Amino acid sequence: MSMSLRDQLLKAGLVSEKQAREAERQLQLQQQGRQQLPKQLRGAASEPARAAQQAQLAKAERDQELNRRQQEQADKKARQAQIRQLIEQHRLPRADTDESYNFVDGNKVRRIPADASVRERLSRGEIAIVRCDGRYDLVPAAAAARIRERDERAVIAYGAGPDPGSVDDAYRDFAVPDDLTW
- Nearest to residue 127, comparing CAs of 113, 116, 141? 141
For a pLDDT cut of 70, what percent of the chain falls above it?
A: 81
Cα-based angle 97, 120, 90 (whole degrees, multiple of 5): 75
- Estimate to the nearest angstrom the gap between the alpha carbon of 89 and the chain centroid: 31
Q: Of 43-47, 131-135, 168-172, which has the strongest mean pLDDT?
A: 131-135
Q: What pLDDT score was predicted for residue 162?
A: 46
Spatial neighbors of 59 by CB under 8 A, at least 6 apart, are: none
Residue 177 phi/psi, 5-degree rounding, is -60, 145
Q: Which residues pair with 43 in a beta bridge?
A: none
Q: What is the chain's mean pLDDT, rounded? A: 83
Residue 103 pLDDT greater than 50, yes or no: yes
Give dist(CA 37, CA 55) in Å, integer: 27
Pairing verdict, β 108-113 and 135-140: unpaired
- The SS3 call for residue 64 is helix
Predicted structure pTM score: 0.56
